[in-house]
């Protein structure tokens, strides 16, 4: 087999050395695993044992295997006219007998179509009818205290000017669609309530849904001085002093506002649900 052995004695030794390195690395890999494992060592040793085999084989192939180019004819892909004709003839022989039974063809087709539709029905089991859930939150009960993650209620003076916390309706701190940003603005920040929402704030506290109106990420960053809320996902920016209307980024709608009040004990409550559906838009959001 001396077809094209371009490699010499040294190349052969190098390839053999690769296989030996691989063997040693494989044994070391097993030992490392046995001794309790170590991810970096495992990765490097596995790479060495795989790479040793790979390099060895490539050297072998390049230097000790025949490297001749050959020419292969490329026969036409298309069948010859005779082959097509022969196929058509055979098919027609059987096909004509099928077509003559119009009634059977029609009813069998109908049965298959009906079955096809019927087996689609179980898809309905995958999820509930999208109902009011997308348009309402737990706040709809009205006059619910807003509470922190640990369930503690909030007094207006718990927050300093420019401070903000995340709150939920009492008893629903696991309701992801009801997470709310409670923000205290300074007197000099020029808060302008939306028309009709003049009494939705208490003691300079304003509350908006924390879910971005773009794709629903939590709007988690608040720049106190400029009173801008920023969504870290896609950089939508909302102006807290102007009804949380979007001022930059892909969001096209304001964050829904939560009407606030105080209860008899002086804790902050939400008097009703948000001003609109929270989070990302959907087809019949406005209906």
Residues 6+ apart with CB under 8 A from 285: 134, 135, 276, 277
Of the pair 42, 262, the CB lying nearest other proteins is at: 42
In 3D, which of 178, 121, 113 has the Cα closest to residue 144? 178
The span from the CA of 136 to the CA of 133, in Å, is 5
What's the min distance (Å) between Cβ of 9 and other proteins?
20
- Any contact of residue 133 with other proteins (CB under 8 A)? yes
**Tokens read off for 233:** 């996902």
User: Segment contacting other proteins (CB under 8 A): 92-100, 110-118, 174-182, 201-209?
Assistant: 174-182
* Cross-strand partners of 270: 144, 260
231 to 260, contacts with other proteins by CB under 8 A? 232-237, 246, 248-253
Question: How many residues make contact with other proteins (CB under 8 A)?
Answer: 78
Sign (positive or negative) of CA dihedral 279, 192, 190, 249: positive
- Any contact of residue 134 with other proteins (CB under 8 A)? yes
What's the min distance (Å) between Cβ of 125 and other proteins?
9
What's the min distance (Å) between Cβ of 81 and other proteins?
17
- Any contact of residue 7 with other proteins (CB under 8 A)? no
91 to 130, contacts with other proteins by CB under 8 A? 123-124, 126-130
What's the min distance (Å) between Cβ of 90 and other proteins?
22
**Tokens read off for 160:** 């300093």
3-state secondary structure of 103: helix
What's the min distance (Å) between Cβ of 41 and other proteins?
7
Q: Are strands 237-239 and 228-230 parallel, antiparallel or unpaired?
A: antiparallel
User: Segment contacting other proteins (CB under 8 A): 39-47, 109-117, 138-146, 267-275?
Assistant: 39-47
Which one of residues 5, 162, 220, 276 is an interface residue with other proteins (CB under 8 A)? 220
56 to 75, contacts with other proteins by CB under 8 A? 56-58, 60-62, 65-74
The span from the CA of 179 to the CA of 277, in Å, is 13
C-alpha to C-alpha distances, 281 to 18, 139, 214, 252, 266, nearest whole angstrom: 59, 19, 7, 9, 35
- Any contact of residue 150 with other proteins (CB under 8 A)? no
- Any contact of residue 5 with other proteins (CB under 8 A)? no
- Any contact of residue 165 with other proteins (CB under 8 A)? no
Q: Mask 176-215, x = binds other proteins (CB under 8 A)?
A: xx-x------------------------------x---xx
Of the pair 163, 249, the CB lying nearest other proteins is at: 249
The span from the CA of 274 to the CA of 137, in Å, is 8
Of the pair 261, 281, the CB lying nearest other proteins is at: 281
The span from the CA of 32 to the CA of 42, in Å, is 7
The span from the CA of 138 to the CA of 135, in Å, is 11
The span from the CA of 95 to the CA of 102, in Å, is 12
């Amino acid at each position: 087999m001396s077809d094209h052995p371009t490699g010499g004695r040294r190349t052969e030794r190098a390839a053999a050395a690769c296989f030996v390195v691989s063997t040693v690395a494989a044994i070391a890999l097993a030992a490392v695993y046995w001794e309790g494992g170590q991810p970096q060592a495992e990765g490097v040793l596995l790479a060495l044992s795989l790479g040793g085999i790979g390099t060895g084989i490539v050297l072998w192939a390049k230097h000790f295997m025949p490297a001749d180019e050959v020419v292969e004819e490329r026969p036409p892909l298309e069948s010859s006219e005779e082959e097509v004709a022969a196929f058509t003839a055979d098919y027609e022989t059987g096909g004509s007998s099928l077509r003559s039974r119009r009634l059977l063809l029609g009813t069998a087709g109908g049965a298959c179509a009906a079955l096809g539709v019927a087996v689609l029905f179980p898809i309905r089991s995958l999820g509930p009818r999208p109902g009011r859930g997308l348009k309402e939150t737990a706040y709809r009960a009205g006059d619910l205290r807003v509470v922190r993650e640990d369930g503690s209620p909030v007094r207006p003076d718990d927050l300093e000017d420019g401070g903000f916390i995340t709150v939920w309706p009492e008893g629903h701190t696991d309701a992801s669609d009801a997470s709310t940003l409670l923000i205290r603005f300074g007197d000099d920040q020029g808060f302008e309530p939306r028309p009709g929402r003049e009494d939705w704030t208490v003691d300079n506290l304003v509350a908006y849904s924390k879910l971005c109106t773009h794709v629903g990420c939590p709007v988690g960053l608040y720049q106190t001085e400029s009173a801008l809320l920023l969504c870290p996902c896609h950089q939508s920016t909302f102006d807290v002093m102007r009804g949380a209307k979007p001022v930059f980024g892909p969001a096209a709608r304001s964050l829904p506002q939560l009407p606030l009040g105080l209860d008899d004990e002086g804790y902050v409550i939400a008097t009703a649900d948000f001003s609109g559906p929270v989070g990302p838009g959907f087809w019949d959001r406005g209906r």
